[in-house]
Amino acid sequence: MRPQLLCTFTYVDRLPISIEDIYKAYEQEHVSNMKCYHYAHLPNNVICIYNTTISERRLKDTISINRKKESNTYYSINALNSLIRILNNGVLDKSYLINWLDYGDSILLSEGEEGYKQIKIKELTI
């Protein structure tokens, strides 16, 4: 089975519990490459991003996410589609080229049907 990249939203004071919940939900041996980031402007808000091969379960406050390694940008597909529409005069063209460096060290999340938000992130050491 192909690994899936997931993002779990939590808070600094709940981080140890959230990590434990992730390992329990997806079985520790099936979780890899976990990194945790805090929001640059809201350092109490934390995201844990990790790969898992178990996809039939979904932990609370968790979404499927994608990554552009060269810019360390994480994004949901809905946020990507909204970004393309905004940059491309309302047209969703899946071949549209995005300058990912403009969104470096960020997570792009959907904000309703026609929008997205960019949140700058900084890696935590765990």
Q: pTM for the complete prediction?
A: 0.92
Yes or no: say if 11 and 45 are a contact pair by the CB < 8 Å rule: yes
Query: Within a 10 A sphere around the Cβ of 87, how many other Cβ atoms?
Result: 15
Q: 3-state DSSP call for residue 82?
A: helix
In this predicted model, what pLDDT tens digit does every residue of 84-113 receive, in sequence order?
A: 999 999 999 999 999 999 999 999 999 987
> Can you tell me the distance from the alpha carbon of 91 to that of 21, in angstroms, rounded to the nearest whole number?
40
Q: What is the pLDDT of residues 54-67, one digit of tens each?
A: 877 789 999 999 99
Q: What tokens appear for 43 in the block?
A: 């350092």
Structural Rg of the chain based on CA atoms: 15
